[in-house]
Amino acid sequence: ADGELVQYHYGLKDLVTILFYIFIAIILHAVVQEYALDKINRRLHLSKVKHSKFNESGQLVAFHLTSVIWCLYVVVTEEYISNPRSLWENYPHVYLPFQVKFFYLCQLAYWLHALPELYFQKVRKEEIPRQLRCIALYLLHIAGAYLLNLTRLGLILLLLQYLAEFFFHMARLVYFTDENNEKLFNVWAVVFVVTRLFTLTLYILVIGFGLPRVESQALDPERGNLFSFLFNNILFRMSVLLLVCLFQASVMWRFIHFQLRRWREYWNEQSSRKRAAAAAGSKQQTKPLKRDSGYHENGVVKAENGTSPRTKKLKSP
């Protein structure tokens, strides 16, 4: 009421909050599964493999759509987009507004809840390593941005990442309902490339050019500044930047390899269809035509009623 602004920083009590929201995420996961995805699955009659992938994409579509709207609201109200300099000015950003801190805690809670969901959803054994790798990468990046006081940069990067992931899983859902509809995959490909370029540009701008201009920040546990002093070291800064570039390059390489394989399969399918159509047309041309309505018996054409189809000559009286 008196205009006092309350801000927060991270601490051990965050673990209790994250644990609470893990249970909330499990309940919401079950609600989406029972009241939305299971009803759609009964109508589609998918196989076991497609059923598992449909459930995975359905859950992630709901999560990514919610996170994109929420993250966009946060970055707009905090003016991180309108003022890009705020991404590195006054670094380290030890003290956070409530909505920024709450967003990060909910993100950590969601990806931690995905671990017990692997058991509850009875995920196939061959799918578990892939999903564990995805969960570990999200937890590493979100927790790293939260602990290294790079929350503002992390918000923008999460917004870009979740936007691309939303289109990908939405395209999968449409594909499972209609296997001939792959238009959304083309939209996802464009969004993916654009978001990767923006991601790499932001990393270079903030870590490579923005943070070196910030005044030196020493280790200060009393203020909660435990990790920010690392960015004073140019070797650490360049190592982080190199790892980011290598990671983005590997992601782009996998994406290009996936697209080339997809296009190759598409053209092979089209060529096989053309060959099948050409073979069917040639068979129709070589098929003998039936010129009479009768049948042959001992070399003589007989009509259907057993008489000869030839007209008989009448004898003169």
191-204 pLDDT, tens per residue?
Answer: 999 999 999 999 88
- 65: nearest Cα among 101, 32, 39: 32
Q: Is 17 exposed, middle or buried (0-12, 13-18, 19+ CB in 10 A)?
A: middle
pLDDT-above-70 percentage for the chain: 84
| Model pTM above 0.85 | no
Domain boundaries, the chain: 7-275
Q: List, in sequence order, every residue forming a beta bridge with 225; answer none if it has no partner.
A: 220
Question: CA 311 to CA 297: how far, in whole Å?
Answer: 18
Contact 44, 177 (CB under 8 A): yes
- 276 vs 288 pLDDT, higher one: 276
The burial of 47, by beta-carbon neighbours within 10 Å (0-12 exposed, 13-18 middle, 19 or more buried), is given as: exposed
In degrees rounded to 5, what are phi and psi of residue 8? -135, 160
Q: Is the pLDDT of residue 133 over 70?
A: yes
User: What length does the chain have?
Assistant: 317
